[in-house]
Amino acid sequence: MSRPSDAVSRPAIPLTGYAFGAAGAILFASKGIIIKLAYAEGIDPETLLALRMALSLPFYLVIGALAVMRMRAKGEALPGPGLIAKSMAVGALGYWFSSYADFLGLQYISASFERLILYTYPFFVVLFGALLFGQPIRRKALWTFVAAYGGLALIFAERFSVDGSSTVRGTFFVGLAAISFALYQLMASSLLRSIGSALFTCIAMISASFVALTQFALIRPVEALAVSSHGLALAAMIAIGATVLPSFFMNAALKRISAQANSMISTVSPVATMVMAVLILGETANATELAGAVVVMVSIGWFTLSDARRRR
């Protein structure tokens, strides 16, 4: 008689979840590069964010309508007003406030440094997960983030010696973006399971678009939207390639793996940003900054692999 395979007793690693998370991270990594190029065209953060949301909004309206039609065809119950309101609030936090803070920060610091700061948002996922959602904190997670923030401190000190207060302002705004995005990840998980990835993403992005466009209308003249054709092309790249596609990839990943695992799989993001920053923006880094970047990427990358092995 043949013995049953021991592998049957082990749950399979959610490879599709990790694949979706990695794809979203790489596409999101291009955002900072394109924003820097748009700033060089003279576009301000509020106008760029409004263009990004306006150009991506039709996609979410159509996909959201299709998701509702599909649910009705299957006889599935549509989400109630309470779930919709929660999804709108969480979407505004993750896709408007976090994005706006990030846009502001990129005025002052390099795209590579911005991505490394955002890359450590898993620390806040773990911290807020424990404080607000009762999730356990593993000791090796703490050591991972001590090392990661040590690497960031090296880069910050080097940049501060050159740019001074600009480095402080940029780090502050991007830090706010990381904190708010971590909260979004944690709060979105339960809503994704209740509503579904496609419909939740559409509700969240439609809400964020409304807030961003309202913000623009209150503080900028409508003529500010008349940017150059190159600037409009850059805004379209942010809207589709760095917003629509990665938002669906990320939420599809969140539906399959934990918020902590999804945040850790973003290992590829800072590497992709650094490569693009060198090739496209001409950014450079000295030995100290490279050492800090390596510490950040290796420490959180190690945690990613460790988390994947634990799930076998």
In angstroms, the CA 220 to CA 300 distance is: 40
Domain presence at residue 267: yes
Rounded to the nearest 10°, the torsion over CA 177, 198, 122, 208 is: 10
Tell me the DSSP string of 214-241. HHHHHHS-GGGG---HHHHHHHHHHHII
The total number of structural domains in the chain stands at 1
Domain presence at residue 277: yes
pLDDT-derived band at 189, boundaries 50, 70, 90: confident
- In the predicted model, is pLDDT for residue 259 greater than 70? no
Domain presence at residue 75: yes
The two tokens of residue 267 are 């290992």
The two tokens of residue 88 are 């709108």
Domain presence at residue 145: yes
pTM above 0.95, yes or no: no
Domain presence at residue 3: no
- In the predicted model, is pLDDT for residue 13 greater than 70? no
Mind listing the pLDDT tens digit for each residue in 96-128? 999 999 999 999 999 999 988 888 787 888 888
Domain span at residue 117 reads 15-310
Which residues make Cβ contacts (< 8 Å) with residue 60, sequence separation at least 6?
Answer: 201, 202, 205, 206, 209, 244
Domain presence at residue 6: no
In angstroms, the CA 156 to CA 117 distance is: 10
Rounded to the nearest 10°, the torsion over CA 191, 193, 197, 201 is: 0
- In the predicted model, is pLDDT for residue 230 greater than 90? yes
Closest CA to 32 of 294, 242, 254: 242
